[in-house]
Amino acid sequence: MNKHASGGQEPFPRNHHGWTVPGPPKASIHVLFWPGWWYPNRTDPLGGIFIKKHAEAVSRFCDVSVLYITPDPTLINKKYDLQYSIENNLRSLRFYYKPGSRLPLISKISEFLNYVIAGSRGLRFLKEITGSPDVIHVNVNPPAGLIFLLFTRLRKIPYIFTEHWSGYLPANGSFKGLLRKWLTRCLVKRAGAVTTVSENLKNAMLAHKLEGNYHIVPNVVDTDIFHLPTEKENKPGKKRRILHISGLVPVKNIPGILRVVKRLADKRHDFELNIIGEGELREEFEHLALGMGILNEVVFFHGGKRVEEVAVCMRESDFLLLFSDYENSPCVIVEAMASGLPVLATDVGGIPELVNERIGVLAAPRDEEGLRAALEMMLDKCTGYDKEYLRAEAVKRFSYEAVGQVFFNLYNEQKFCGVQGRFFKRAPGRRRQT
């Protein structure tokens, strides 16, 4: 296995106990973040970035390690590859395994075994560095292998479960299969706490009879990167600048946006729409806009951008536009709020929990006439929103400190711990690294 630090880190020296590495500052509680299917990795650098932000929020209050296991089709000459690094105060261990057979049944068995093997090795590696965790923080509809380890090898360690997945929503309908439903029901029932990023997602899970100790903990925004515009950035332009940010997938209903923008552009010429994001449908959407005569005249596709560039685009825009068929709780909305940017979005999922009349306007999904009317109103009135209020709400509800504090309180609740102060007892033989 390849044990090294990525992201410019030097390889770590090895002693007779194993791999000894530097770690984050000491903290009273050691949390093992264990993402299920999503987390930034070398095959998908932006996958599950919202989970990493939660881990970073927790690291303001706790000692956090991350264990992420995922298949990597590029592995050829070896079956497993382990990568360890320190990233933003997180001990991050990514364990890659070579996918097995493509035959459905054999593939599932192979995936389960590979996950259990990789998980066991990853746990041994982390235990050598930090000792056993005080609490495990499981994220996103975890694989069967993770649940197996949680209920066997790790059964004496309490855990909480955070869900972001929209598959439980009726409009999505991806939560299927008797085995998956039974495993998830067991996972939720045994968790010390279950957190969702919206009340809407919680209710969708309850509709599937996933009974548990639920709490709402929202997504995180980096309020240092996403901030109010400077005097230079705040200069009004000749045209209103509408901003859309997404992965350009079908659920975002880009064709609907383009049709409405075309109708509006035939009437007025005081706005432009900037679309940020990459996806396999980008070329199709650009061709559609070209056929309407609005590509690079009214609508501009900019592709993917780094987070710092996205933040600048927000500060230079007049409002954010989303026209999704369904959503959970989009991070882009809280990023817009932190930037003082009002929002026009659809009344779906957890969005109404984020957007009230002081934040922006809601339109019905797939209602293009309703979107046209809402767009006209926003074009005329978007400067009337209080940027300072938008920013203050984001800091109060979605900052690293606000979200991290909520998780920290959950870890320490007596009804969750079972015994007051349970997490402050260090595991036998545990070594803290500095």
The tens digit of pLDDT for each residue in 40-52 reads 999 888 889 999 9
Q: How confident is the model at residue 434 (pLDDT cuts 50, 70, 90)?
A: very low
Strands 240-245 and 271-276: parallel
- Per the prediction, the chain carries an average pLDDT of 87
Asked if pLDDT for residue 285 goes beyond 80, the answer is: yes
Q: With a cut of 70, say whether residue 414 has pLDDT above it.
A: no
In sequence order, what DSSP letters do the residues of 256-303 get, joined into one string? HHHHHHHHHHTT--SEEEEEE---TTHHHHHHHHHHHT-BTTTEEEEE
Would you say residue 6 has pLDDT above 50?
no
Indicate if the pLDDT at residue 249 is higher than 90.
Answer: yes
Comparing 14-220+399-422 with 240-393, is the CATH topology the same?
yes
Q: What are phi and psi of 86, to 5 degrees?
A: -105, 120
Segments making up each domain of the chain, as ranges: 14-220+399-422, 240-393
Note the pLDDT tens digit of each residue in 163-185: 999 999 999 989 998 989 999 99
Report for 21-25, 84-88, 153-157: range of highest mean pLDDT: 84-88
Per-residue pLDDT at 417 exceeds 60 = no
Q: Is the pLDDT of residue 102 over 70?
A: yes
Would you state the pLDDT for residue 424?
36
pLDDT (tens digit per residue) in 104-122 = 778 788 888 989 999 999 9
0.95 exceeded by pTM? no
| pLDDT band at residue 130 using 50, 70 and 90 as cut-offs | confident
Q: How many CA atoms lie within 13 A of 8 on its CB side?
A: 1
Q: What's the rounded Cα separation, in Å, for the pair 380 and 376? A: 6
- When pLDDT is averaged across residues 338-363 and rounded to a whole number, the result is 97
Q: Does domain 14-220+399-422 have CATH number 3.40.50.2300?
A: no
**Segment 340-361 mean pLDDT:** 97
pLDDT for 344 equals: 98
Closest CA to 19 of 3, 38, 42: 3
Name residue, tokens 């005097």. Answer: 231
Q: What is the mean pLDDT of residues 233-251?
A: 89
Nearest by Cα to 223 from 65, 53, 64, 410: 53
What pLDDT does 27 receive? 55
Lowest-confidence segment of 228-232, 251-255, 264-268, 412-416 by average pLDDT: 412-416
Q: What is the pLDDT of residue 413?
A: 76
CATH 3.40.50.150 fits domain 240-393? no
Tokens standing for residue 224: 């240092």
Asked whether residue 380 carries a pLDDT value surpassing 60, the answer given is yes
pLDDT at 415 exceeding the cut of 50: no
Position 405 pLDDT exceeds 60: yes
pLDDT at 339 over 90: yes
What is the structure's pLDDT at 144?
85
Tell me, what's the pLDDT at 5? 39
Per-residue pLDDT reduced to its tens digit, 187-227: 999 999 999 999 999 999 999 999 999 999 999 999 999 99
At residue 3, does pLDDT exceed 90? no
Residue 35 CA from chain centroid, whole number: 11
* Chain position carrying tokens 């990514």: 94
pLDDT tens sequence across 290-326: 999 999 999 999 999 999 999 999 999 999 999 999 9
What's the pLDDT score for residue 14? Answer: 41
Q: Does residue 387 carry a pLDDT above 50?
A: yes
Element (H, E) at 408: helix 400-412
Across the range 406-429, mean pLDDT stands at 56
